[in-house]
């Protein structure tokens, strides 16, 4: 059976050019060719094998991670890869490592928050990995509430130094990746204190370990916080705990792009607008949204391929059983996740454009779009990471019992991904930030502050409050205006309802506390509108091949109508649609599932993931699942011997005792 493509028949059903869809998924032909080249480079190198890592203990796993990171760096140097290519290589190695935080947080923090002089000193060291950095912000007692951080940085004018100190147990830095065992330096966030005055949280570059022997420097207590959820998964990362006991650093190691402390101890704001720091936040969150599409698409690829291979029930007179993917219940659970993967991909592309636009505006001292961009990226980070974490788990269940095996790739994928729901902002807290922006936008209607960007629809509030869907038959739900009208009216009315409730409170904060659950739902409706609208906008572009466009139209319809079905209570209670129109939406949704079915395998092939990167026997490209599952089982260390360790010591005496009792 080896070498047989069990999914070839499914691929022959495709009604579009898969290569064209691969380019659309990648974003461009150039991006597709780059990803394809680097992913195959990694997959073909046995040094990057990962099929055995779930069987390694923590120390072996971590040592294996260090080996891979060092080898990856060696290959990056040998192949003279540029920064973009090197980033691709690290991502396709597909193992959380200290390098993720070095390149993803430490370097961007220095680039975004330090002066030109500081960058000249620190960036060359970081780029050559002569130092290894992490991002030490979250503490044992505070995460989302950054302003509540307790670590202090007190300026000593006598020595021209800052004294970094952890005054309480809860001020211990807790969670930073790479901190536990590997980082030599950290960007540490602490309360800046000069002459007894607290100036709030600022960033400082602090050396943690000796560059000679890697031992912690005096006054520094640092270590790993312990095992996390799941086999292997994020346990290849040394998340750490860090405490400072009056550690002194030069004044010049305060990140001084936006504010600084003079030699005399005077606190000053620089001429560079502090709002520029939000550009970095937009960048990080747009990257998280793009990562969500990748993680969800991996899970969907596994579940879709396995659903076409797996057969259960439905046979008569000895005939073949029914493919699981042909059951309507399977389609109703799987295909919305497939549509979501594409939707998140396209909204991620748009966020990259938004980051570029916001950055250019900030550099020109134009801050007009900043609040909207901040709220938008916060909300989309929340929406996509929650949906992806839930979606990966749903894909595991869609694979039945075999999805529970580590060799399915799904348990580890879930364990690696689920922290995204809390890092870079707890998802509920982020939605409340979006809600605040929506309420403020509504309160300013009629003034000179016109809604912009993704809140522009609120400028038509009077019209949206009168909106009633004119859908009369199921096919009407395929019209973009019908979908957008319903989603805009729902989002607007939910936000207005919250604003009206809050207006009855003399203390707005009490109102926010009382109706926080309603505010979260209003923010979610707004964010879902953004994703739906960006998917529809994607369809207006010059997409390669008519067949490709038709399939994306089907997926766009599935994404929107599934959300309408899931949240039909919102649409009905706000009066945007009536019950009959809700039923027509479900009717059209079922029709769209039937249209996706012949193209399902081709649509996940378009992700262009190698078997190495996918890391799943159930999701193998050739569909040769059962022989490989059987083969994999015998690789488990428990099968190294016929009689397991401990049997003769514990179980054999038990069995013999039972025999003696039985004879009595």
What does the block give as tokens for 110? 């220095």
Q: How far apart are CA 626 and CA 306, in angstroms?
A: 11
What does the block give as tokens for 98? 């200290």
* Cβ burial, residue 197 (10 Å; 0-12/13-18/19+): exposed
Number of Cβ within 10 Å of residue 543's Cβ equals: 18
Q: How far apart are CA 235 and CA 227, in angstroms?
A: 6
Rounded to a whole number, what is the largest CA-CA distance in the chain? 96
What does the block give as tokens for 144? 């989302």
Closest-CA residue to 523 (of 388, 421, 381, 343):
381
Q: How far apart are CA 26 and CA 164, in angstroms?
A: 45
Catalytic residues: 424
Binding site residues, as ranges? 138, 177
Binding site residues for FAD, as ranges? 138, 177
Whether 203 and 254 have beta carbons less than 8 Å apart is answered as: yes
Whether 599 and 619 have beta carbons less than 8 Å apart is answered as: no
What is the strand order of the sheet 173-174 is part of?
173-174, 240-244, 220-224
Closest-CA residue to 554 (of 598, 584, 524, 488):
598
Q: How far apart are CA 272 and CA 332, in angstroms?
A: 52
Bridge partners for 267 per DSSP: 261
* 66, HSE (Cβ side, Cα atoms, 13 Å): 12
Q: How far apart are CA 400 and CA 424, in angstroms?
A: 33
Q: How far apart are CA 496 and CA 56, in angstroms?
A: 54
Whether 537 and 552 have beta carbons less than 8 Å apart is answered as: no
Per DSSP, helices labelled H in 567-624 are 568-573, 579-596, 600-605, 611-614
Q: How far apart are CA 213 and CA 218, in angstroms?
A: 13
């Amino acid at each position: 059976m080896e070498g047989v493509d069990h999914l070839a028949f499914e691929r022959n059903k495709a009604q579009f050019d898969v290569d064209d869809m691969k380019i659309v998924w990648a974003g461009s032909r150039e991006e597709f060719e780059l990803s394809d080249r680097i992913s195959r480079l990694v997959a073909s190198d046995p040094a990057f094998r990962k099929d055995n890592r779930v069987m390694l203990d923590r120390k072996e796993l971590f040592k294996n991670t260090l080996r891979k990171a060092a080898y990856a760096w060696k290959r990056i140097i040998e192949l003279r890869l540029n920064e973009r290519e090197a980033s691709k290589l690290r991502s396709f190695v597909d193992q959380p490592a200290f390098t993720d935080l070095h390149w993803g947080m430490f370097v961007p923090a220095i680039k975004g928050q330090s002066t030109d002089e500081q960058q000249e000193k620190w960036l060359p060291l970081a780029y050559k990995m002569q130092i290894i950095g992490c991002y030490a912000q979250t503490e044992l007692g505070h995460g989302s509430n950054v302003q509540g951080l307790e670590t202090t940085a007190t300026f000593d004018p006598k020595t021209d130094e800052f004294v970094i100190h952890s005054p309480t147990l809860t001020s211990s830095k807790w969670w930073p990746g790479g901190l536990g065992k590997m980082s030599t330096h950290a960007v540490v966030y602490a309360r800046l204190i000069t002459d007894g005055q607290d100036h709030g949280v600022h960033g400082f570059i602090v050396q943690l370990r000796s560059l000679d022997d890697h031992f912690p420097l005096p006054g520094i207590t640092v270590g790993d916080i312990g095992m996390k959820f799941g086999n292997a998964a994020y346990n290849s990362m040394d998340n750490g705990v860090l405490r400072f006991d009056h550690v002194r650093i030069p004044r010049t190691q305060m990140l001084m792009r936006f504010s600084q402390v003079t030699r005399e101890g005077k606190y000053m704001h620089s001429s560079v607008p502090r709002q520029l720091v939000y550009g970095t936040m937009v960048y990080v969150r747009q990257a998280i949204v793009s990562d969500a599409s990748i993680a969800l698409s991996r899970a969907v690829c596994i579940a879709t391929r396995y659903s076409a291979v797996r057969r259960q029930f439905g046979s008569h007179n000895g005939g073949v059983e029914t493919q699981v993917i042909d059951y309507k219940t399977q389609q109703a659970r799987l295909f919305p996740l497939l549509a979501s993967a594409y939707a998140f991909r396209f909204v991620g592309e748009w966020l990259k454009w938004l980051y570029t636009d916001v950055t250019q505006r900030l550099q020109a001292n134009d801050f007009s779009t900043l609040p909207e961009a901040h709220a938008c990226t916060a909300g989309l980070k929340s929406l996509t990471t929650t949906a992806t974490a839930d979606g990966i788990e749903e894909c595991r269940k869609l694979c039945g019992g075999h999805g529970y095996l580590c060799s399915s790739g799904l348990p580890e994928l879930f364990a690696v991904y689920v922290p995204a729901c809390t890092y870079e902002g707890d998802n509920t807290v982020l939605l409340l930030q979006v809600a605040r922006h929506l309420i403020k936008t509504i309160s300013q209607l009629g003034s000179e502050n016109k809604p912009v960007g993704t809140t522009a629809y609120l400028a038509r509030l009077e019209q949206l409050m009168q909106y009633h869907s004119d859908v009369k038959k199921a096919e009407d739900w395929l019209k973009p205006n019908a979908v957008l009208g319903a989603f805009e009216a729902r989002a607007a009315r939910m936000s207005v309802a919250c604003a009206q409730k809050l207006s009855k409170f003399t203390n707005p904060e009490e109102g926010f506390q009382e109706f926080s659950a309603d505010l979260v739902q209003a923010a979610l409706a707004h964010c879902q509108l953004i994703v739906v609208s960006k998917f529809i906008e994607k369809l207006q572009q010059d997409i390669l091949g008519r067949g490709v466009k038709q399939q994306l139209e089907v997926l766009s319809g599935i994404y929107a109508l599934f959300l309408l079905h899931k949240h039909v209570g919102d649409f009905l209670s706000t009066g945007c649609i009536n019950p009959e129109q809700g039923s027509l939406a479900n009717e059209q949704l079922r029709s769209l599932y039937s249209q996706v079915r012949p193209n399902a395998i081709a649509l996940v092939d378009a992700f262009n993931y190698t078997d190495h990167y996918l890391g799943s026997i159930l999701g193998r490209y050739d569909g040769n699942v059962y022989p490989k599952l059987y083969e994999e089982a015998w690789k488990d260390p428990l099968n190294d011997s016929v009689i397991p360790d401990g049997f003769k010591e514990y179980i054999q005496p038990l069995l013999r005792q039972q025999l003696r009792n039985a004879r009595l």
